[in-house]
Structure formats: C-alpha cells, structure tokens
Structure 1
C-alpha cells in the first residue's frame, strides 16, 4: 500500500471517530445552548461510512506494453507523501491560512469563541477555521459529499452547529495524526480549480513540475488559490492571482519564513504558469488521441457492461492494462484513412482486429478513417464506429457465412458439394416479392421471393466456390433447404453476432418499455405463419464490425467463441488485481465444422474470388479465410478475413444513415451518391489487406487447419 493511501484510510477512520465523540465540546459553548441540539442532529446525520470513502483518484489506461494512453477522472489528483512536499509550500500555506497551526491542537479557541459570541448575539457566524478544520471541511466536500450538492452545502453552511461538528473531528484528527500528516492530507484533498485537486496535480498542471521542485513564488501562488480558486484563477484573472500571491508572500514575511527583500523580489516576477491553460491530461478517452481513442472507448464500454459504474471507473484510481497493440492499431488507422478521407461527409471506414484463441479472443486494434475526438469539422467523432452497431446499412453477403455454417451443421451440403446457382431464383419458402422474378412472373403460390445476381455465375458451383464468388441465388436456395431463418440466426448468435442480434433494426439497444422495440433476432426469426425474412442471408441488418471480426476469430479458434476482450488486467489504487466479470468461452460449433468453414472460405483472395484484386495489389501470399459483402444499392460493404494469428473485419458505411449508395472514385475518395458502385472487394478488402500486410510482415506464414470429411460433401 502506498504511504498516501494509508494516510487517506487513517484520515477516514479519524473522521468517523471524531463524529462519534459528539459531546466533547458542548461545555465550552454552554451559553449558546440552542446550538447543542443543532449540533447533535448534524452529528447523527453524518454517515457512518466515512471511513470507507477514499478520495477520487485518476484511472490510467495503458496499451498491451503498459504504456499509458489515457486517463479517466472526475478529480485530477496525484497523491504525494509529506516528504514529497517542500517547506516553501508548507510555510506558504500555514502563513496565509493558519499562522498558529503548529501551536493549537486542531481548534483555534479564540476564533471559535469569537464565532460563538457573534452567533449568539445575532451577528454573522465568523470563520477562524484552522487548517485541520479546513481539512475536515474539504474532505467532506470533495470526497464524502462529492456529487451531493445538499451534502456539500451542509458541510460548509455558516452555522455554529456545523462549526462544532467540524471542531470535534479536528480535535480527534490531531490526536491521531502528526502535523505533517495533516498538512499533507489537506494538500492532497484541497481544490485548485478546473478539476485539479491536491498539490501533486496542481504543481504539474500550473507549473509542469513536482511539489518538491516548486519555487517560493510558485508555492505562494498555489497557497493563495485554496481560499477561492475560481476567483484567483491565474489564466482568467491574472491580476487577482498576482495580488493574492503577493499577499501570501507578505504573510510569509510576517511569519518570519521569508526575508522581506526576497519577498519584494518575488513580487516583481511574473506568475510563470504554463501558457494558455493548465497542463493536465484529458479527463476521458479523448486523451487517447485520434488513433487510440476508439480502443479506449471500447474499454470503457466493456467495463461498464461488466458491472463497473462510470463514477467508480472515473474515481477508483485503477490501472487498466489493455490488449491494444499500438503498432497494429496504427497500421489499421493508416489503411482505413488511406482508403477514405477522414473528412469525407457521411462515410466511415473501420477496421477491427482480434487475435484468435481457444481461451481468449483479445482485441488488438479498433480503427477508423475518422479521428476520435469532439471536432466534427475536422472529421472527428466519439461514436464507437469500429465496436458498436453503427453500420445500419448492413454487412451484405458476409452473412452468407451463417447460412453456410448452418447448412454444414444440418448435413444439407458440404463445402465441395455442387449446388445450383443460376442468374435468378424464386423461393417458395419465403415471401417478400423481389425484383428478379422470371419474365413470366411469380408462380401461382402464396409464398414467393425472387432474387437475382449482379453478374453471371453459371448454373452450378461448389459451396466453396460460391463462398468465393458470392452469388445471391445459391444462398437463398440453401436457406430454403434450411426451411426458415432460424438456423442462420442461431448460427450468427453462436459465432459472435450477439450485441448485433440483440439490437433493434435501427442498431439501437432494445427498450424493454417500448413494445415496438424488438431485437433483430426476433424481427427476422420465423413465427407461426412466417418462416422469417429470406433476405437475412444477404445481410441487410445493422451490424457491429468488431463482432464480425470475432466471428472470424471463432472459426479460426476451432469453433471456440470467447468475448472480444480488450483487457489484459485491472489493478486497484493499491496495486491489487481486480477481477472482471467476463463471459466464459464456449465451444459453439464442432471443431471439425469450424475448421471446414475456414477451408470453405479460403478461396476469396484467389483468382475468381471477390477480394482477389485487393490481395494481388499488395502481393498477399498467406492462406486466409475471407468473405466480402455488399448491400442493396451498394450503400455499405464489408470484408471479413483472417489468418490463424489474426482475424478482422473492415466495413465502409454511412454512419449518419440516409438512402443511396457509396461511390468508389479513387483510393481515398469514397463518397455518398445516388447509384453506388461500392463492393466488399474494393474499399473494405483494400483496407484489410493494406493493414494486414504490414502487421503480419514479421510473422511466420501459418497454414489453415485441415477440413473434416464429415463436412466436405465427399
């Protein structure tokens, strides 16, 4: 345990003990008997949990190597021990706030009696609080009642009852702690404005130094701030800050802690604070910067779902070591932004990367063409584009993965089975019309759904060949053989599309209070009178890109699904490991089925495959699983790919929605348009291959697993 943490715990215990000795001071103010009942009420209302409330500390988020990338905090505080605060700071504070600090025992009786007399005579309640009493008040305001406006008001109300309680606790503190401990405790708790608390943070934020290195005029400025930090803010009110600093210097002279000549010399110096604003880190994930901010945001979202509260996360002083590979994330960012300009209106290009494994699926990178930040005009956003359900246009033919896995699971076909393709297909299982019916019109049947292909594919192909070339007709026909959408939806959930299928058709979390808010898993599922939406296999529903990447990771892990975790470990303020509730890994499909799916998807980057051109452009020579997807009107597109070492998904879509397509005009120039020409083999595949070529450059070429004869169709 750090020295400062032990000190804070002892302080909390002293505060609690002080509250319990409620009667100690009443005889002193017997003449003001009316105050006795008020004081007793106040003491009784004070929480007995005081000792269990530690001060808010900064949570640090690091990459996989332990390098800090962001800080999360409500109060920017860097705790320091008494011996880390120089004498100049201590004497500056004592001289201006409590000249008799080293003489009294927690209460300045002269000042307290003066306040009692004034109050009893109907005058204003006067101050005369010692540093120990101020410490008590600041601890209550900044720690115990932080976020509780009513509690804060009571902790500083101008009443004798409050003064009595404060004095009681102060006396008890003085019996438990040394003067140096009390002084250090005060300097660790007090506010210095702008979310800056404590001398450690103040020294850094105001002067980019440490409490040990503060000069006399710097110490005087900070000591002067505690009285009224907002009024004496040196950036907003430099004149007032200068006047207050000089007053502290004069008080140090009066207290014989500074020579008058030195004080006059220091008064002539500028304030010397850092330029423009305090040098403090961002208080949230914007501090992770334009590249790493999306990953930081996912970490926060992940921990909130795991049971942490935002307040706990921003005040707990945790160290969160993540699985972020900054090199991989940088390559992902560069590739995403190369393909689509960061300022391109209503076009997002994302890449999510996950490391496969049978016991963990670690998220390695979360990147977008957009920068993470608050300046929309500069192409920034704080929406979790790579890890949330923000692609409302859908993933297109990437969803054929789920139909194929269900077909293998049911024994309907194997990856080498010949299946019908054709230029058009009319389903007698599903309804929905369609624009590709034969010239003679739909059959005279109550159920018909017509689907066609963008090109000519021939009459038949193997299932493996169909995955590489992606004819729509073949997979709707397979869906017919499944009898409903249920097997495909079930497979999508098993393999990893969990928050996607749990979201509504607008990509939003389901509202249990709204009967019209229904998860996708139910909207597209069969009912008593409907086998579901036949177009499910064509991937028109809102999609989470990270989950799509995790689907590839599940297949490459022999069918072992694990949550896409961003966490390597979490420790508390004392360095103790904190358990995080994460979903357990599951064997969601037989290993042979998963391995055969990988082989079945291994031809997409080869001649005739939909991503062959993108692979050839970078000289790709590694075995992969791959599947492209393009939605209706070319409004969004995806590429799912992976090697045994790394899986990922790239998506290009309209983050702000709207009808119409996406037009690929040139590398770095993708725009919204009426009639689109975007395909999964273009921007998404180029993004994936562009990043993975550099990320995998120093990795050995790994073979894909062998197929299982049970699922080949031979």
Structure 2
C-alpha cells in the first residue's frame, strides 16, 4: 500500500546554528507601546539557545520591571520635589551681628546660630577634611553615588552600618527638614524620604555648581549646641575665623559632624580627638594629605574656647537694641537675619558703667546700716531656690548731647541674674531732678536767676490747687527773700513750689513734655517737687537740653543696618539719594532759659548738693542735679559735660528705704563720676560749657524781674544783668512794684563791659548744704 506523501521535517529546526525566524505572533500596538522593553528583550534573546534564552529572560524581566518601577518612581518623586523651593538653599537664617560704635561685637541676635561664610573664605584644610569624611567622590559623581550605594549595601550586609548619602542629598535633607518626625523602625517612611531626597538632590545638581552646593552644605551643617555652619562652629569652638583653621582643628570639626552631641569637644575632648584622628586617616586614604602631615596634626594640642567664655551672657544694651530693631525692621528681615547692625553703644563705657554700678553697690551692702539681701547672699542660694533677686539695684543711661546717640544702657547689676531693664523700664519718682524744668518754665515767663523770692513757710491758699499743703525744706529750716538761683542750687522745696506756682502747672507740664518725659506730669503742685515717675533713660535725654541751649535730640541706639550683601537698609536715603541721618532734633525750650538753668546747675556741681564731684576726682566743667525721694527710697544724680549727659539711679525694685542718709550725692553721684572720668579719658572730652546764646545788657528789678525804673533805683532793688536776647524784655515792660516816678533807666549810661560775665549766684551761708527729699503724696489734699 502506497503511503501518502508528507513534507519532510524542517531539519533546520533542530540545528543550533540554523537562522531563527521571527516569532509568528505579532504583538498589538498597545502592547508595543506600553511593554516595548519586554518585547525588545524577547526579540534580542530569541536567537539564543533555550537554556541561555531562559536564563536571560529570568534575569532580564525583573531588570526591565525594575526599570519600569524606577521610571515610575522618578516621575512621582520628581513631581513631588517640584513642590520644594530651591531658593531656601540661599536663604539660610543666620544670626545678625550687633557692633558697637568702635566696631567691637556686642552680640548676635535673631535667625539661627549661624554666620554664613563663602567657600573661598574657608580653610582648604577643612574643605579636604569634610570631603574625606562625608563624600570623598563628591566632585566625581552626580546627585547620588551608585558606587557609594553599592559599598554601603555590602557593609550593611556584613553588619557594619554605613550610609551612602552624598553631600547634595544631605543638604537637601537638612534644608527641607526631611527627617522631621521620623522614628527608628519606620522603614517605609525612611525609604520614602530617601527617594524624595534623591529627587531633590537631582534638582540641586542641575541648578547649582558643585562649589555652590559644597558652600551651602558647610554653612548648613549642625555642630551641636544649636550651632549651624562652619562660621559659628569655628567661632564658638576655637574663637577664630574658618579661614584660620589648622589641619588638626579642621579634622576635628569634620569628625564630629556625624555625632555633634556625642563628640562635642566641650562635652568630651577625648571623643573629639578620636574623631579627629579617624578623619585624618581618611584624608590620607583619599590622598588629600600625606601620612607625615596626618601624624604631625595628631600631635597638635587642641585648644578650644575656655569654659569661662562658653556661656552666652545676657546684655541690657543688646536687649534694648533688639527692641529698637523690632520697630525699625520688617519681620522678614528679622527672621532671615544676616544683618550687620552698628549701634551707638560704646562698649568701653557700657562696661565701665556696669562695673562702677556693681562696685558702689557692693560697698553699700557692706555698710553697717544696710539691712537687706546682698548680691553675694543671693548668689549663694541653690539654683532651685533662687527667685528674682531682691538685692539693691541701680541703672544708668549715657547720652551724647549733640546727637542723641546712647553710649550706654546699664539696666541693673547683672542681666543674667535679672532681665528687667531698669534704665528703660523702671519708672520711679524722680524727686528734685525735676526742679530744673520747673525753673525753666518760670524763666520762659520772665523770671531771672537773680530775682528774689521767699524761702519762708508756705501759707494756706498761697499755691494754686494745693489747698493746705505746706511742704518743708529737707533741713527743716526756712530763709528770707533769696535769689531764685539759690532755690535750685540748694534745692529749696518752698522756693521751688513758689517758682512752679508762678510758671503755672500748664506751662510746667508743657516743658516736661517737650523735654521728652513720656509720662504726662500729674495736674498737681506736688509734681513741682518730682513726686511722679520717669525712667533714667527719659531723665538723661531730658537733661541734654541744658548743655544744648534748649535743643533736644531724640535718643537712639542704632546708627546703621546692612544686609548680608552690604546694602544699607537703615537709615536709608532721601529722594535725592542722600543718606538720612537718625539724628532728629527740635527746640524743646527757649535757648536763653536753658542756658540760664545750665549756669545754675553748674553751680550745683561746684557749691551745691553735688559739690563732692571734685572731691571724688572729676574736676572738669559740668552741671547736674541730685535727687532723693521720701525715706531714701530712690537716689538719683543726673549731670552733664559739654559732650555727654549721664543719669544714675539707685534703689530697690520694690521701693523701700536703701540706707539712712542714702542721698543721691552719696549713692548715685560716685557712680556718675566713675563713668564720666572714663568717658573723658576715652575722648569724650568735657570742655567748657560754651553757649551760642546772644546776651544783651539790661537793668532789672530783683523783686519783679521787670525792667528797672527810677523807683527801683530808689528802693535799691535794681541790678544790671546780661540777659539772653530771646527772653529779653521789651522796653515798656517796667517794674509794677515800684511805679513811683517810674521812668525807664537810661541803660546807655550804665557802664557794663560787653564781655562782662553774668554775675554768679553766691552760696547762701545761712543755709547748710543738705540733700533734698520730697514730700509724701499723702500730704496733698485731694481737690
């Protein structure tokens, strides 16, 4: 039987060297679009023998799937990374530096504890050390290091913990705080963070040069103790600029980065040195230094900042500058920091003021009559039992007369022990310090220093609005008709109240307001004796009108502010591009009246209640006034030279008697002398109290202060004086007390040399030089 003829089998199908034919099944268009890598793998592996083909596909499919996953993750995390603002890399908050007028640093405020330093201003030793320690291949790889990742995987498999983050990844993580809230064991969260970190690193590498990334990184690193960046780390740990770091210091700082709290040299110098040595070894391995250089660096002793200078100390001046900055600057400038702020403070005078205040008050605490807590006793208390100190305190403010610049703000004995700034925040009764402003108001109304006024007892109803109030003088004595200047030189209460009554409460209140007292003067005659409150800052500023011929400059603490690029933010420029001066001034009083008061206050400092100035060692021209409130609760002295005005207060935060005899001349005046002697030695010279006031010759009546008449001459009450032109009386303003045959005196016949000095008020021999004390408020009936 003949079999049907069949086609012979394709022998080539069983030959390994036979050419393969393309797969018979053609994939769809959709399949090609979405799964083309798999199809490509199939196509490439089709010619292979079965075992090799299976192996290639078993390995290849997961790889292709991994690439799919990587692509998907790249898209997802790339999109997520777009939500982060890369400009934050260039906007690292840093500390603003406060300088005194000599350029010495007072302190740093705002921002983070960081000072940005350009990469080219950092020691090359440190750059090599940080790269060897953190990312040896930084300049060779991209955003992430595949070799580093592989090495880290092998180390971790071997049980050795090692990271693989590049410097760029670390920068991204720190800037955007990607680790915030992350805890151990949260594997999925850690993986998510790592992938986002890589995506951000890719963006950073595409937007910035390698040097810029490294520069940002070294300014962002955390070095423990809230220290950020190489600038602060170098300053705080070694008290030097990063450009001055030695190889040993550089390796130590680079070494402690991975554990700033554990390897902090302030905490454990041995641990820090071990990390330094490890870093030096890595630098040798990386070829950054030789073994000989490493060995030499290991022998170099480490000298970190001494313990006494490690703590940040509070400062009354710094805190007041901070307050003024909050008024001047926008919130954005404050938060970002990086400003250089030049203040008016002179640290030499600031320190002298603090030293002089504490020195005098320690002396007071040793007096036999002192019955209160001492600072030494307070400091001896255990930390847990220390409350706000109750020891005797003080304050001082020093102002430059012709500018208003504040040279010193001493708010207490120690800002670390008490933050309360008594120079600017403690309003206390000012007592007789206010009397010069009462006399100033009266001089504006025509009274003169040589006008006679009674020092006798006040009579009921004599003082408007006072009812039966009858204040006494501090010595319990009374005098007769005396020159007005004597009332201020000797601080006579009865005379001062009469002078204030003549001026009128409204006029005295206006003088106080114009002089710069922030709290309105109470509407009562007792205010003539200073039974109301002000701060040493206000008093010092107000007193500058006397050496300034009535001109007051607004007190200020900040003269210039520059941003991190050196652009001037304050005081700014006007429309024509000219710098605006922060020195704002205005006429607070008539020049002639202020000059007249200044002459009397000069006598207070030579013959009056402040006459001990020269005995204490200050022999330069000056003027001033003491003040002591009831029961010795507040002791004041405010005085000035041709250049500076200084106010000093001594007392307790809760008003109480300091010591028996705690007058302003005993407690505050010695502090003032110490400060002003130092200021004069430092160049703030106390010259003659010159004035630009024009004087005219006039003949006046002692009793009325008006132009003398023939009747005044017959009554022997006339005298010749040189009167400031701005307060000179018109020709027809004649004495009303002596009208008989009243004729203007022919002043051309009076022989008065043009340069004749104004007659000095003679010290009153019948009245002892004693301090003044104010009358208690309860002595005033309420009306």
Contact preservation (8 Å) 1:35, 1:161: no
Q: What is residue 408 of structure 1 aligned with on the other side?
A: 443
Q: What is residue 605 of structure 1 aligned with on the other side?
A: 605
Partner residue of 1:134 out of 162, 170, 174: 170
Q: What is residue 453 of structure 2 aligned with on the other side?
A: 419
Q: What is residue 352 of structure 1 aligned with on the other side?
A: 397
Q: What is residue 437 of structure 1 aligned with on the other side?
A: none
TM-score normalised by length of structure 2: 0.65
Q: Residues 40 and 83 of structure 1: is their aligned pair in 2 closer, same or farther, counting only changes over 3 Å?
A: closer
Q: Shift of residue 135 of structure 1?
A: 1.6
Query: Aligned runs of 1:322-401 on 2, under 5 Å?
Result: 322-325=343-346, 328-329=349-350, 332=353, 335-337=356-358, 339-341=360-362, 344=365, 345=374, 346-357=391-402, 360-367=403-410, 371-374=413-416, 376=417, 381-385=418-422, 387-390=423-426, 392=428, 394-401=429-436
Q: Does 2:94 match 1:56? A: yes
2:345 aligns to what SS in structure 1?
Answer: coil
Q: Does 2:290 match 1:303? A: no
Q: Shift of residue 307 of structure 1?
A: 3.8
Q: Residues 268 and 398 of structure 1: is their aligned pair in 2 closer, same or farther, counting only changes over 3 Å?
A: closer
Q: What is residue 628 of structure 2 aligned with on the other side?
A: 630
Larger radius of gyration: 2
Q: Shift of residue 542 of structure 1?
A: 3.4
Q: Shift of residue 36 of structure 1?
A: 7.6
Q: Residues 695 and 605 of structure 1: is their aligned pair in 2 closer, same or farther, counting only changes over 3 Å?
A: same
**1:197-247 alpha-carbon deviations (Å, 9 max, x no partner):** 323443444445555565555444322322231233234345654554455
1:610 aligns to what SS in structure 2?
Answer: coil
Which stretch of the first structure deviates more once superposed, 97-106 or 294-303? 294-303
Q: Number of matched residues?
A: 591
**1:108-150 alpha-carbon deviations (Å, 9 max, x no partner):** 357789999xxxxxxxxx9632111112222334xxx9xx978
Contact preservation (8 Å) 1:66, 1:321: yes
Q: Residues 452 and 710 of structure 1: is their aligned pair in 2 closer, same or farther, counting only changes over 3 Å?
A: farther
Query: What do you get for the CA RMSD once the two structures are aligned?
Result: 4.3
Q: What is residue 650 of structure 2 aligned with on the other side?
A: 652
Partner residue of 1:702 out of 674, 689, 694: 689
| Unaligned 5+ runs, structure 1 | 1-26, 117-125, 287-292, 433-446, 502-520, 526-531, 664-675
2:258 aligns to what SS in structure 1?
Answer: coil
Query: Aligned runs of 1:116-515 on 2, under 5 Å?
Result: 128-141=164-177, 158-207=189-238, 211=242, 214=245, 218-237=249-268, 240-241=271-272, 244-249=275-280, 251-252=282-283, 255=286, 257=288, 272=302, 274=304, 283=312, 286=314, 293-307=315-329, 312=333, 316-325=337-346, 328-329=349-350, 332=353, 335-337=356-358, 339-341=360-362, 344=365, 345=374, 346-357=391-402, 360-367=403-410, 371-374=413-416, 376=417, 381-385=418-422, 387-390=423-426, 392=428, 394-409=429-444, 411=445, 413-426=447-460, 447-455=467-475, 456-481=477-502, 484=505, 486-498=506-518, 501=519
Partner residue of 1:567 out of 558, 565, 577: 558
Q: Shift of residue 632 of structure 1?
A: 0.9
Q: What is residue 661 of structure 2 aligned with on the other side?
A: 677
| Cα distance between partner residues in 2 of 1:703 and 1:584 | 22
Q: What is residue 540 of structure 2 aligned with on the other side?
A: 549
Q: Residues 704 and 160 of structure 1: is their aligned pair in 2 closer, same or farther, counting only changes over 3 Å?
A: same
Contact preservation (8 Å) 2:74, 2:199: no
Q: Residues 353 and 277 of structure 1: is their aligned pair in 2 closer, same or farther, counting only changes over 3 Å?
A: closer
Q: Shift of residue 50 of structure 1?
A: 3.1
Q: Residues 334 and 274 of structure 1: is their aligned pair in 2 closer, same or farther, counting only changes over 3 Å?
A: closer
| Cα distance between partner residues in 2 of 1:115 and 1:247 | 18
**1:40-68 alpha-carbon deviations (Å, 9 max, x no partner):** 78546535863772441451413x33233
Q: What is residue 658 of structure 2 aligned with on the other side?
A: 662
**1:361-406 alpha-carbon deviations (Å, 9 max, x no partner):** 22234457x64442x4xxxx54433x313253x2211112332233
Q: Shift of residue 629 of structure 1?
A: 1.5
1:451 aligns to what SS in structure 2?
Answer: coil
Q: Residues 463 and 132 of structure 1: is their aligned pair in 2 closer, same or farther, counting only changes over 3 Å?
A: same
| Cα distance between partner residues in 2 of 1:220 and 1:212 | 14
**1:447-483 alpha-carbon deviations (Å, 9 max, x no partner):** 4433222222313333222111112223333444555
1:640 aligns to what SS in structure 2?
Answer: strand
Contact preservation (8 Å) 2:396, 2:409: yes
| Cα distance between partner residues in 2 of 1:197 and 1:712 | 66
Q: Residues 246 and 632 of structure 1: is their aligned pair in 2 closer, same or farther, counting only changes over 3 Å?
A: same
| Cα distance between partner residues in 1 of 2:724 and 2:298 | 84
Contact preservation (8 Å) 1:36, 1:161: no
| Cα distance between partner residues in 1 of 2:394 and 2:233 | 41
TM-score normalised by length of structure 1: 0.70
| Cα distance between partner residues in 2 of 1:626 and 1:152 | 66
Q: Shift of residue 633 of structure 1?
A: 0.9
| Cα distance between partner residues in 2 of 1:110 and 1:337 | 64
Q: What is residue 106 of structure 1 aligned with on the other side?
A: 143
Q: Residues 111 and 564 of structure 1: is their aligned pair in 2 closer, same or farther, counting only changes over 3 Å?
A: same
Contact preservation (8 Å) 1:599, 1:705: no
1:390 aligns to what SS in structure 2?
Answer: coil
